[in-house]
Amino acid sequence: MPRGIVYLVGAGPGDAGLLTLKGLVCIQEADVVVYDRLVNSRILMHARPEAELVFAGKSPEGHTLTQDAINGLLAARAGEGLTVARLKGGDPFVFGRGGEEAEYLAERGIPFEVVPGVTSAVAAPAYAGIPLTHRDFTASVAVITGNEDPTKDETAIAWDKLSTGAGTIVFLMGMANLPDIVARLVRHGRAGSTPVAVIRWGTLPEQETVEGTLDDIVERVRAAGLKNPAVIVVGEVCRMRPHLRWFEQKPLFGRRILVTRSREQASALSERIARLGGEALEFPTIAIRPPDDYGPLDLAISEIDTYQWIVFTSVNGVDYFFNRFRELERDIRELGPARLCAIGPRTRDALVGRGLKVAYIPEEYRAERIADGMGALLAPGERVLLPRADIAPSDLAEALTRAGAAVSDVTAYRTVAVGGNAAPVRRLLAEGRVHAVTFTSSSTVRNFVGALGAEDLPSLLARSAVICIGPVTAQTARELGLKVAAVAREYTIDGLVQAVREYFGGSEGVA
């Protein structure tokens, strides 16, 4: 039997974008993923569909698995010849008990690798606008566990040296002991006027920061109802926060947006959401595949010089059409006299990027408006090729036919439903932690409803805004019982992002 391996992976502080590239590869290759409580569920979506997911979360209220059980699980799965990704919040060797797990594996001769992660000790203050070092304030930092009981007789922390020996002190997992931590610091010489910041859920949309001093921070935290998980920062660098709180100034700060379009296309929407400070949670409900039967498309390509127009309705249509064109060893010059229509700027860019000239781009991306615009350009009986998805509605082909064209509506690609792991999404929706659900087509709506189940969907979405790319998608959502909160004025990804931004109160141009 081949030997397995365990990757001890730091999953970062919460923001899925802070996962390292090496950590991502380990997750994608893993047969088994053992993950902690604070690991972002978006990271788990990078695991292979057939991978075993094991929750090993620990919290102050209790542990799903004991540390001994976790150690044994890692060794057992690797002993079966499997690749195991052990995901730990932050960095596995910074108060993550990664050292203990590595030691256990080493004693049994089980191969392992350590993949460092971004620790919350650095990331949470950075997202709150607090640099841990600054030449005007301090040149030293100490990172301390806050989970040790400071009142016990024999503490492992040298409080007399720590209190005044480090310019900035960061406590992890210290919320339960905050009063004792503060008392110890003051007792051993730290001034009561020293600035303090307590950051809960750092780097996530729920991030919340309470500021104060050693004299009043306990009462301020109590009044705010702040609980675990949180990072405590003590030091003069906290004074920088009013000037450097960059994350909280972004227009979508505090918003988690569900993206339901295909995995191949989700990144464009996710990146725009992230740039505006939101968190994009990808849950693809569709996938793009080649057609079951290339016959109609191949026939159209063989007659390509007989068409006066080719109308592309999506980037997918462009990609699949020209991929097949190339597979059939056709020359791009064989397009001959055909003029090209692109529906939307992204589709236009995909054609221009191939060195092609676009003759017409409709101002409004609706069937009748497209046909009206092309009607002025079409001569009666001119042939129009429409290469697009298998499930595309017939209204555009019918409208072009009424405008006098001879339309060949052929399948260039298929849109198929994908399920994925709906459990994390259901949990976040039920907890009210998804602030908006975006739909880019009617098929994304239908497949989303199918994946989550229609019975309790209205209650699951009660605290989430449904935002659609256009009126056709919105109508499908309403027919399936969803309450639509906003519809993009421009039926593009940029238009959808603008609709999300406007819904949450920011109307400036999309970054």
Kindly list the catalytic residues. Answer: 36, 58, 173
Tell me the torsion sign for CA atoms 214, 218, 221, 224: negative
| Contact between residue 421 and residue 44 where contact means Cβ atoms under 8 Å apart | yes
Peptide bond into 92 cis (omega under 30): no
Alpha carbon distance, N-terminus to C-terminus of the chain: 53
Q: Which residues pair with 259 in a beta bridge?
A: 282, 438
Q: How many CB atoms lie within 10 A of CB 510?
A: 16
Distance CA 462, CA 195 (A): 40
Distance CA 188, CA 172 (A): 20
Q: Which residues contact 109 (CB under 8 A, 6 or more apart)?
A: none
Distance CA 235, CA 167 (A): 6
Q: Which residues contact 501 (CB under 8 A, 6 or more apart)?
A: 251, 252, 276, 507, 508, 510
Q: Both tokens of residue 387? A: 């290469």
Q: Which residues contact 166 (CB under 8 A, 6 or more apart)?
A: 138, 140, 141, 142, 235
DSSP secondary structure letter of residue 5 = E
Query: Can you spell out the DSSP letters for 63-108?
Result: ESS-HHHHHHHHHHHHHTT-EEEEEESB-TTSSSSHHHHHHHHHHT
CA angle 323, 327, 330 (to 5 degrees): 95
Distance CA 263, CA 260 (A): 8
Residue of 471, 423, 427 whose CA lies nearest to 445: 471
Residue of 132, 131, 128 whose CA lies nearest to 246: 128
Distance CA 241, CA 128 (A): 7
